[in-house]
Structure 1
Amino acid sequence: MTRLYRWKSGTAALMAMAITTGAITPLFTSAPASAQYNINQSRTITIPYNVTFPVTYEKEKVIVNPGESLPLTLKIANDIIDNNRNVLIPRGTEVVGRLEPVNLNGRSSSDRNNNNNNKGVRFVAQELVFASGKRQPINASSRTITQTERISKGSDTGNILTDAAIGAGAATVIAAITGNRKIEVLEPLGGAAVGAVASILLRKKQADVFVLRPEQDLDITLNSSLVLSRY
């Protein structure tokens, strides 16, 4: 079944992009242009900034605390190809990066529970890792997510926790509030950090966490042009 994947770009990228069946298709520029058809000669292909790549993750959701930072590896959701159907970035290429907190500088936003929240979270991509093992630096990030979901004592967290990868900070919060001690975490939390979180929870019976849905929330947009080497 033919699917048209979503993409975003600015004016410059609009002039340099085309969509074909089932993939995002950058119309690349190469240097030198005459070299793109030369066999056994290396060339570079530039995907312009402000182009967005769809991503996927092994879990349906990722849960983190406001202010929590977490290493995360996503994958490119479908082949990125040029207008000649040459694959530039294969589907399944790893996108190594981190979920990083964002301070909204005092500006408030309304979350899913209509609470004021001046914190956000976004994914910052650092490297592409191809199946061959080749690593390619990338300067890209997702949009900032500000909506949270509330965890409270006695609440049913089944839907939130199902098929979720959970950061250590969020896992500590959820376990302390709900009594669920069987939560698998993505990264261990140091003893001092656990103590700090626990002391906060002694005064609280609820907490707000970010529940990210990678395929909806974490598509990455190039902050600068991505230059790929082709052979």
Structure 2
Amino acid sequence: MKLTPRWQSSTALALALAMTGSVLAPLGWARSVAAADTNRIAQVFPPEWRNNLPPRSTPGRVPDSWGYRSIIRAGTIIPTSYERDKIVVTPTETAELTLTVASDIRSAGGTVLIPAGSEINGELRPTSGGTQFVAEELVLDNGERYPIEATSDVITRRETITRRSDPEIFQGVAIGAVAASILGEIFGNVELWQVLGGAGVGALGSLLIRNRERVEVIVIDPATDLDLQLESDFVLNPRSVQY
């Protein structure tokens, strides 16, 4: 069959396009592979490396080699417990007190930062018409000690005690030394009560109760009154963190 010039031109054009496509296809595939490899390499080396910065870490898992610390933010609530059902102090009394952390305090990632059973040392201090626990020191269960700034709500619950009051209401109650002195003058015996700080009772009670028909005390319920709120960020050595 005799081919016309137009047919010959069409055939030549088709062959040229086919050959061009076969040459360009491997080049396009190679570029795609190269781009994919570049993406994979970028994922292997994080941006911090380009700026000579330490690698990022997840909350609660801080590498000691970078000298980082675990932080509990201000405003965190620390639930506490106490060995007695009630604590009694006078409105003007300052009394030393040790509370126990009631449950684990964890990071957002679930890491235990303050284990349950750790102790918080501090004082009950008169303030704003009541009394307030002010924390001073945290003692972890491994014996490590840290300064801590945390407070309870102000407790204003009061009871009036007279010579006609039943002393049995104070059985099993922890009593501040000043309150114990006063109650000793009223009831004649404080041996059955736990005096906070181990302080003794003496002439102070006579001075405070003299010429009084009644005495007002503040009654604290540790189950509801002594949960603490951090006043500032608490910084913990990462070696103390329990993963």
> Do Structure 1 and Structure 2 share a fold, with TM-score over 0.5?
yes
Q: Which shows bigger deviation, 32-41 or 80-89?
A: 32-41
In the alignment, structure 1 residue 82 sits paired with structure 2 residue 107: yes
Work out which of the residue numbers 161, 172, 176 in structure 1 matches 2:185.
176
**What is the Cα-based RMSD across aligned positions, in Å?**
2.1
In the alignment, structure 1 residue 208 sits paired with structure 2 residue 216: yes
| Cα deviations by residue, 1:43-68 (Å, 9 ceiling, x for unpaired) | 31222212211100111111111111
Sequence identity of aligned pairs in percent? 36
| Cα deviations by residue, 1:172-225 (Å, 9 ceiling, x for unpaired) | 11111123342342235578xx43441231201211111111121111111111
- Kept after mapping to 2: 8 A contact 1:154/1:178: no
Aligned length: 182
In the alignment, structure 1 residue 143 sits paired with structure 2 residue 153: yes
| Cα deviations by residue, 1:140-182 (Å, 9 ceiling, x for unpaired) | 11111112111111211323x1321111111111111123342
**SS at structure 1 position matched to 2:224:** helix
- Kept after mapping to 1: 8 A contact 2:172/2:194: no
The runs of 4+ residues in structure 1 deviating greater than 4 Å are: 36-40, 188-191
Q: Which shows bigger deviation, 144-153 or 32-41?
A: 32-41
Q: Which has the higher helix share?
A: 2
Q: Which runs of 5+ in 1 are unaligned?
A: 1-31, 105-118
Work out which of the residue numbers 206, 231, 239 in structure 2 matches 1:223.
231
User: How far did residue 80 of structure 1 move?
Assistant: 0.8
Query: Which position in structure 1 is the counterpart of 2:162?
Result: 152
Structure 2 length normalisation: TM-score?
Answer: 0.68
In the alignment, structure 1 residue 122 sits paired with structure 2 residue 147: no
Aligned equivalents of 2:207, 2:62: Cα separation in 1: 65
Residue 154 and residue 73 in structure 1: after superposition, are their counterparts in 2 closer, same or farther (change >3 A)?
same
Q: Trace 1:1-12 onto structure 2 (pairs within 5 A).
A: none
**SS at structure 1 position matched to 2:196:** coil
Aligned equivalents of 1:152, 1:145: Cα separation in 2: 22
Q: Which has the higher strand share?
A: 1
In the alignment, structure 1 residue 49 sits paired with structure 2 residue 74: yes
Q: Which amino acid in the other structure matches residue 91 of structure 1?
A: A
Q: Which amino acid in the other structure matches residue 73 of structure 1?
A: T
**SS at structure 2 position matched to 1:209:** strand
Structure 1 length normalisation: TM-score?
Answer: 0.71
